[in-house]
Structure 1
Amino acid sequence: MTESPRTIDAVLRRHSAATPDQTAVVDPETRLSYRDLDSTSARLAARLVAAGIRKGTRVGVLLPNSATWVQLACALTRIGAVLVPLSTLLRGGELSAQLRVAAVQHVLTTAEFRGRRFLDEFAALDRAELPALQQVWEDGAILSAGAEEVPGGFVAALADTVRPADPLAVIFTSGSSGAPKGVRHSHGNALAAVRSGLAARCVTADSTLYLPMPFFWVGGFSGGIMTALAAGATLVTEAIPAPETTLPLLARERVTLFRGWPDQAEALARHPDAAGTDLSSLRPGSLEALLPPQLRGAPGARAKLFGMTESFGPYCGYPADTDMPTAAWGSCGKPFPGMDVRIVDPETGVPVATGTVGVIQIRGPHVMRGLCRRGHHEVFTADGYYPTGDLGHLDAQGFLFYHGRADDMFKVSGATVYPSEVEAVLRRLPGVRATFVTNTPGPQGDTVAALVVGDVGVLSEDALTSAARAELSAFKVPTRWLLTDDEDLVPRGATGKLDARRLRAQFSESEPRAEG
């Protein structure tokens, strides 16, 4: 069996030779085959080299999703430059911090997006705080720059020096504390991590994949660009997902897999245009809100893919078109091949017995290479595990059940509450689309509080409380509620994760419910 290519350049050359006419990436204005992606990214790489970018140069990319984003990512990484995706949501201080932590030397940015003029924002940064930063390029300028000074064959020769162990990207994650972490991945570990989960995500070379996640987060970069490249699949993307544009795009491109956050699929399914849109090409493995009932699993029967930036996306799952064994319903599936998972006591770090909740630690060749500006001993345990900060337990069959974040866990009257357990119960109730549970101070200590997104015309605090009492121990039942029908009111950080501190602040600002 032929070994899978382990660098981006090798992946592109393999697909360009084997399936040159296969569509690689589509956006509303652009369609590129794998032959096109290979040739255009090679020409872009020559322009980047002419601009002073070489192997090891750290280059920030601040663009909305597009075929251009994919071309630039391929051009940079095939010559061994280190890609640093930058969020279009970042503001001055956040942007400066990420540029500094990753020691970014060049930036390729869009001139304007969603009313923001990014070149002006870069010009306003204090360059004294960014000693590594040499040049900020508007993407149109770098795309149109001449490359005639680069000798023929130089780009190919440079690409030939890139090895699987060489750095591929620095991807930022905020973590629960909000402090940005620059996560370092190599070509080899990133491609291997993606390939290990292709079967669970039902992605093949025949797939036409759409996911609305931005490429600057690991969900979009790993789950979108890298997944399509690894499988030789087709990636469909757009700058600003919206039902009015997304639904026609899904139908026109005959998308077979819709991945992403469940609420994104649910928003599309609720849109008035959904009923008249032909989504018959979608296959099992897509988010179920867009599938007809006969292609969906029973509630809890399908695995919730589980991963993080540090594992370059999902490291645990189960075939997304297949019901798990009944005893595993509600789990995240099993760790993918190449990933070693153990559960340890939160206080002692000692491995716990099967079925016991503790902190999840991961180890293996697919895990990140490290964190920017952090020593190996600061990040990994002595025996090479990465403490994820997530809580979970493994059952006797090896299925992983998620119980929230270790720093989200709290105690009520001395008993431990896992927010994810309460959220799971509330999500099963009619009219509820999403729930977010946290702790909030009360006269006798912490109490349970829940933000519920759903049909406020149907939901009520009394009904939710009664339903929760029917399934949960009394100390786990929320005594504080916030009800809304607007998902945008959920406080999120720059990477889309729930901002637990802001959620707690929302409850502290609201009037407590009188207890009878």
Structure 2
Amino acid sequence: MMQGTEPPSTLPALLRSVVAARGPHDAVAMAAETLSYDELDRRTARMACALLALGAGKGARIALMAPDGVLWITTFLASLRIGALVSVVSTLCTPPELAHILRHSDAQIFIGVRGFLRHDYVRTLTAALPGLETQPAEGLRIPAAPYLRSVWLDDADGLGWARSIDALLARADAPAAPDAELLAAVEAEVAPSDDAVIVYTSGSTSAPKAVVHTQGNVTRHPRELSRYFLLKPGDRMLPQLPAFWLGGMVMALQTLSVGATLVYPASPEIEVVVDTIRQLGVNRVNSWGDPLVRLRQAAAARGVDIDRIVGLGPFRDAAGELIPPPLQVNMLGMSETFAAHSAEPLDHRLPDDKAGSSGRTVGGFERRVVDPETGAPTPPGQVGELQLRGGALMSGLYKVDSRQVFTPDGFYPTSDLVRLDADGHLYFVARRGDMIKTKAANVSRLEVEAALRPLPGVELPIVVGLPDPELGQRVVAAVVPATGATLNEDALKAALREVLSSFKVPREIVFIGHEDVPRTATGKLRLFELADMIAARIAARRTAG
């Protein structure tokens, strides 16, 4: 944490603090360019003034859709400097997903890239927003996104409805543009309680939840977590999780909050990531699950000493001894808590009697475990639903009455089934509801079912998560075909890829009859029995095959 009499509680204050302490040191490093903290301050100030010139200010709704890199981080920080509310949009978004986010978030300004890897975002935008192609570059009027007024892309050549980001930045250089004095005055009015970020994450319904976090959460909690991740100013951290997912965003903020260097590869392709590690002196990696396994293998094959890179090699305790996997802390968090709410430092070796623990409370969270049916507190060691209050808990869900989100005394029911022992160690057991955790992302089974249901020949889709040693959980589905229909697994997957991000598409689909669906006496699905049945069918198919 940067030294000071009062820890910063807004992004403008945090940036001032870290720039004062680390000005000439590397803040963001990429193969193409490196920004010092002084330059990061200048770049974000210019973008902030450009946004002010455009008419944005406190509470302005800005949608940001770009890969990790200088554009993403400078736009994100600049937006928070003026008190705007930023919706971070996945570069994996399909047109229906993007249409929902832009409409639901009340986005007024869209800032993004024209394309990335195989994605053409001009095509995505025009498919998401019918009529966009006939609109002027500013003063958009689109019923599908009624608040949207302008689109700014890194390359707007040939597009009548968008303008370039260079043209946006030029507004900061105009004679009557907002100056440093006005920007400072704007920043002084940004408060810790101001909403800052909307993160869209799969929820308990077919539509994604819109989790809202405040300036205080965005500023204070990453700095608190940096102590658990043992981050130091001299570190060069490469987060493999993208910044549009909360895990990547929080790690970026952790890194900047301590004055370390945030390293971004030009693309997430494994060979590019390994090259970046080698070329830019990376000594820290933050990753999880399948991406980490593949990166570790690729780096070792290229001669990288993975044991010298924290997060890539095996974890060691404070004495330098390897920590056996059962005694490594598995931090537990969620989008609603701005990452971990329970943790121990990375170099902490759990006592033998705490194996499997996610650790103790972090950053002022209050935790209680209750009977999921009655709401009564459970004794220590007994499984129940985790409820949370305080700390970096979200301010709410966008456009949802707080009474539908929090208990009357302010706790958030997480739907996580856990045990909490007498020493305050938390043990994750399972998800109560319909969430599937795969590749560090949350997927709602109901969202995937909603995408399957209208496909030709599908009568009843049922989606579940199966345990997977690399992914955490694997998304799979069982489908009851309509009478007389013949379905093809590959064809269904291809259709789903048109409306769902790739990580939400089931890895396997099996076909069953209504008589195969296990139900309770009242007709409810027995999901655990169904998951076992799907797993058995997949195993039999592989054996036969």
TM-score, normalised relative to structure 2: 0.75
- How far is the alpha carbon of 1:434 from its aligned partner? 5.2
- How far is the alpha carbon of 1:494 from its aligned partner? 6.3
Q: Give the Cα separation in 2 of the matches to 1:435 and 1:55.
A: 39
One of 391, 407, 414 as aligned partner of 1:381:
407
One of 12, 16, 23 as aligned partner of 1:13:
16
**Code of the aligned partner of 1:203:** L
> SS state of the match for residue 131, structure 1?
coil
Partner in structure 2 of residue 26 of structure 1: 29
Q: In the alignment, is residue 74 of structure 1 matched against residue 77 of structure 2?
A: yes
Q: In the alignment, is residue 350 of structure 1 matched against residue 346 of structure 2?
A: no
Q: Deviations over 1:30-73 (max 9, x none)?
A: 21111110111101111122222222101000101112211111
Q: Deviations over 1:418-446 (max 9, x none)?
A: x99x94xx85xxxxx456479999xxxxx
**Code of the aligned partner of 2:383:** V
Change (3 A) 1:296 1:394: same
Map of 1:340-489 to 2, 5 A cutoff?
A: 340-407=366-433, 423=467, 427=469, 433=470, 436=473
- How far is the alpha carbon of 1:343 from its aligned partner? 1.1
Q: Give the Cα separation in 2 of the matches to 1:363 and 1:305.
A: 18
- How far is the alpha carbon of 1:297 from its aligned partner? 1.2
- How far is the alpha carbon of 1:344 from its aligned partner? 1.2
Q: Give the Cα separation in 1 of the matches to 2:312 and 2:361.
A: 21
Q: In the alignment, is residue 193 of structure 1 matched against residue 193 of structure 2?
A: no
Partner in structure 2 of residue 242 of structure 1: 269
Q: In the alignment, is residue 138 of structure 1 matched against residue 165 of structure 2?
A: no
Sequence identity (%): 32
**Code of the aligned partner of 2:115:** E
Partner in structure 1 of residue 337 of structure 2: 311
Partner in structure 2 of residue 414 of structure 1: none
Q: Give the Cα separation in 2 of the matches to 1:85 and 1:333.
A: 29
- How far is the alpha carbon of 1:238 from its aligned partner? 2.1
Name the Cα RMSD after superposition. Answer: 3.1
Change (3 A) 1:155 1:91: same
Q: Deviations over 1:372-416 (max 9, x none)?
A: 11011111001101111111111121111111210259xxxxxxx
Map of 1:55-70 to 2, 5 A cutoff?
A: 55-70=58-73
Partner in structure 1 of residue 99 of structure 2: 96
- How far is the alpha carbon of 1:123 from its aligned partner? 3.1
Moved more, 173-182 or 392-401: 173-182
Map of 1:151-170 to 2, 5 A cutoff?
A: 151-152=178-179, 153-170=181-198
Partner in structure 1 of residue 203 of structure 2: 175
Q: Deviations over 1:236-274 (max 9, x none)?
A: 112422231212211222222211213222212222763
Q: Give the Cα separation in 1 of the matches to 2:188 and 2:154.
A: 26
Q: Give the Cα separation in 2 of the matches to 1:272 and 1:237.
A: 16
Change (3 A) 1:347 1:494: farther
Q: Give the Cα separation in 2 of the matches to 1:221 and 1:495.
A: 19
Partner in structure 1 of residue 485 of structure 2: none
Q: Give the Cα separation in 1 of the matches to 2:476 and 2:271.
A: 38
Partner in structure 1 of residue 255 of structure 2: 228
Change (3 A) 1:377 1:269: same
**Code of the aligned partner of 2:385:** V
Task: Name structure 2 gaps, 5 residues minimum.
Answer: 131-141, 156-163, 436-463, 479-496, 514-533
> SS state of the match for residue 331, structure 1?
coil
Runs of 4+ in 1 over 6 A off after TM superposition: 437-441, 493-499
Change (3 A) 1:496 1:35: farther
**Code of the aligned partner of 2:51:** L
Q: Give the Cα separation in 2 of the matches to 1:386 and 1:503.
A: 32
Q: Is the 8 A contact 1:302 1:318 kept in 2?
A: no
Moved more, 270-279 or 246-255: 270-279
Q: Give the Cα separation in 1 of the matches to 2:258 and 2:338.
A: 16
Partner in structure 2 of residue 150 of structure 1: 177
Map of 1:307-346 to 2, 5 A cutoff?
A: 307-346=333-372
> SS state of the match for residue 310, structure 1?
helix
Partner in structure 1 of residue 441 of structure 2: none
Partner in structure 2 of residue 117 of structure 1: 120
